[in-house]
Amino acid sequence: MIEKPAAAGGTPVRDRKLYYSHQYIDEADIQAVVDVLHSDYLTTGPHITSCEKKLCEVTGAKYAVLCANGTAALHIAAMAAGLHEGDELITTPITFAASANCARYVGATPVFADIDPDTYNIDPASIKAHITDKTKAVVAVDFGGQSVDEDAILALKEKYGFVYIEDGAHVIGTSYKGRPNGSIADMTTLSFHAVKTITGGEGGAVVTNSEEYYEKLLLYRTHGITRDPALMEHTPDGPWYYEQVALAPNYRITDLQAALIESQLNKLPQFAARKKAIVAKMDAAFQALPGLKIQKETEGSDTVRHLYILQLDPEHISIDRAQFFDAMAKENIICNVHYIPVYWFPYYEKLGYKRGLCPNAEYYYEHSLTIPMYYAMTDQDVDDVITAVTKIASYYGR
Ligand SMILES: Cc1ncc(COP(=O)(O)O)c(C=O)c1O
């Protein structure tokens, strides 16, 4: 007999709420922050350098520039790419708004390419279809942590010569065909927001193999100010001298956050292993359930998932996404939705973007939800999520 979901009058699978994500902070993380509080530097101190070094080790990139958050990372990457008014930047609509907003920050125009209906990542064929002589950059997002189709994007880059920025806000720990994501695109941006695999509360970084981009990123992280005489226009008149040679915001990050991120990075292998095990267990449990589709892996991606997405197939389940979301909430499991197509937002509507631009993305949005999946979940939490999804899909499936 199929167990009744709480939404149909059954007993909830748990009595305490489980949210879709939660950070994991241990004593080593706390001590790392406390040590900075006892030290001489609260910002731009030794942990910036050591954390950047660690990021290079993890991503395989030659250079890393820590900054305030993933949005700042995208902004300085767009500046370093030389984007200006009149340039176009192609990105996906199934992302956080910052992936497109970085074009607007520098006066350029975001152009939305559609997603692959199975991996939910930007579809290289759609990128190709949107390339014009104004295309200056592509921002590809490793959605939910799985790599974009790097070979296909690199082939387009080779042919059309755009700057390839990978929005790797979800991707830390993932590799593509043996290369860590972060060592592949011209620049890869990272986010250390509280829900991400590695957190600093807030925080971000750009990693790159290019010395030229690296120099620019350093400048754009801090007001366009340099202390490097080689970059100055005037001769320094003393050791205090610095010069502003461009206009940029203050996107520095504190040493407190850098120390926390560095400490968290020490746990990346254990975070990755546990997340992979949870995803494998969920995939196995959900594969055969009626009306549910799970995210298809990009070929070549060895993925550390940041999000676990379920998509409903309306032909085989009698409730819609909102009802499924509510049914999970009645089980005390609080889901989320990633993401509303960016061009649906009023800001973009007012710029002239219309619904219907990217049909796969819009279908994805209307049928998908994000269920809890994160390192700090207990085995019982994982089992509860699986039981709740199984109850609901079995009961309403057809
Ligand atoms: C895909 C994507 N890009 C960019 C960002 C921006 O990162 P942050 O929140 O650190 O500014 C996020 C974070 O939510 C994200 O998920």
CATH of the domain at 362: 3.90.1150.10
208 shares its domain with 100: yes
220 shares its domain with 114: yes
Which entry of 62, 136, 157, 196 is annotated as an active-site residue? 196
SS3 397: strand
CA separation for the pair 244, 231 (Å, rounded): 10
* Spacing of C-alpha 152 from chain mean position: 20
> What pLDDT score was predicted for residue 205?
98
82 shares its domain with 55: yes
94 shares its domain with 153: yes
Paired tokens of 299: 């070929």
Confirm whether 39 is domain-assigned.
yes
Ligand 1 pocket by Cβ (under 6 Å):
69-71, 95-96, 98-99, 141, 167, 169-170, 191, 193, 204
Q: What is the mean pLDDT of residues 345-370?
A: 98
231 shares its domain with 319: no
Phi, psi (degrees; rounded to nearest 5) at 152: -70, -40
257 shares its domain with 320: no
Confirm whether 123 is domain-assigned.
yes
Q: 91 C-alpha vs ligand 1 centroid, how far in Å?
A: 14
Residue 65, H or E segment: strand 63-67
- Please say if the pLDDT value at position 164 is more than 80: yes
Confirm whether 1 is domain-assigned.
no
Confirm whether 79 is domain-assigned.
yes
372 shares its domain with 316: yes
Confirm whether 371 is domain-assigned.
yes
Confirm whether 99 is domain-assigned.
yes
Q: Which of 222, 238, 265 delimits the end of a domain?
A: 265
- Residue 293: active-site member: no
Confirm whether 116 is domain-assigned.
yes
> What pLDDT score was predicted for residue 204?
98
> What pLDDT score was predicted for residue 2?
75
Q: Which of 265, 295, 321 delimits the end of a domain?
A: 265
Q: 282 C-alpha vs ligand 1 centroid, how far in Å?
A: 25
74 shares its domain with 210: yes
Structure-token match 């250390």, residue found: 192
pLDDT interval class at 1 (50, 70, 90): low
Nearest CA to ligand 1 atom 8: 70
- Please say if the pLDDT value at position 271 is more than 70: yes
45 shares its domain with 97: yes
- 165 forms beta bridges with 139, 187
134 shares its domain with 163: yes
* Spacing of C-alpha 267 from chain mean position: 19
Residue pair 140/164 in contact by the 8 Å Cβ criterion: yes
Residue 19 Rama label (left phi>0; alpha psi -120 to 50; beta):
beta
180 shares its domain with 40: yes
Q: What is the mean pLDDT of residues 366-377?
A: 98
Work out whether strand 292-294 and strand 308-312 pair parallel, antiparallel, or are unpaired.
antiparallel
Q: What is the mean pLDDT of residues 343-348?
A: 98
The domain that holds 241 is classified in CATH as 3.40.640.10
Q: Which of 222, 250, 265 delimits the end of a domain?
A: 265
Paired tokens of 162: 């755009």
* Structural domain total, the chain: 2
Q: In this predicted model, what pLDDT tens digit does every residue of 320-344 receive, in sequence order?
A: 999 999 999 999 999 999 999 999 9
Structure-token match 């395989």, residue found: 60
SS3 369: strand
Average pLDDT, the chain: 97
Residue range of the domain that includes 274: 6-24+268-395
**In testing the pocket of ligand 1, which one of 92, 96, 146, 309 has its CB within 8 Å of the most ligand atoms?**
96
Give the residue ranges of DSSP H helices in the chain. 27-37, 46-59, 70-80, 98-105, 124-130, 150-160, 211-221, 255-265, 268-286, 321-330, 346-350, 359-367, 379-396
Q: Which atom of ligand 1 is nearest to the CA of 204?
A: 10
382 shares its domain with 258: no
Q: 21 C-alpha vs ligand 1 centroid, how far in Å?
A: 15
Residue pair 100/91 in contact by the 8 Å Cβ criterion: yes
Q: In this predicted model, what pLDDT tens digit does every residue of 134-160 receive, in sequence order?
A: 999 999 999 999 999 999 999 999 999
Residue pair 181/173 in contact by the 8 Å Cβ criterion: no
Phi, psi (degrees; rounded to nearest 5) at 58: -70, -40
Helical packing angle, 70-80 and 98-105, nearest 10°: 40
Q: What is the mean pLDDT of residues 77-103?
A: 98
- For the entire predicted model, the pTM comes to 0.98
- Please say if the pLDDT value at position 389 is more than 80: yes
Q: 192 C-alpha vs ligand 1 centroid, how far in Å?
A: 8
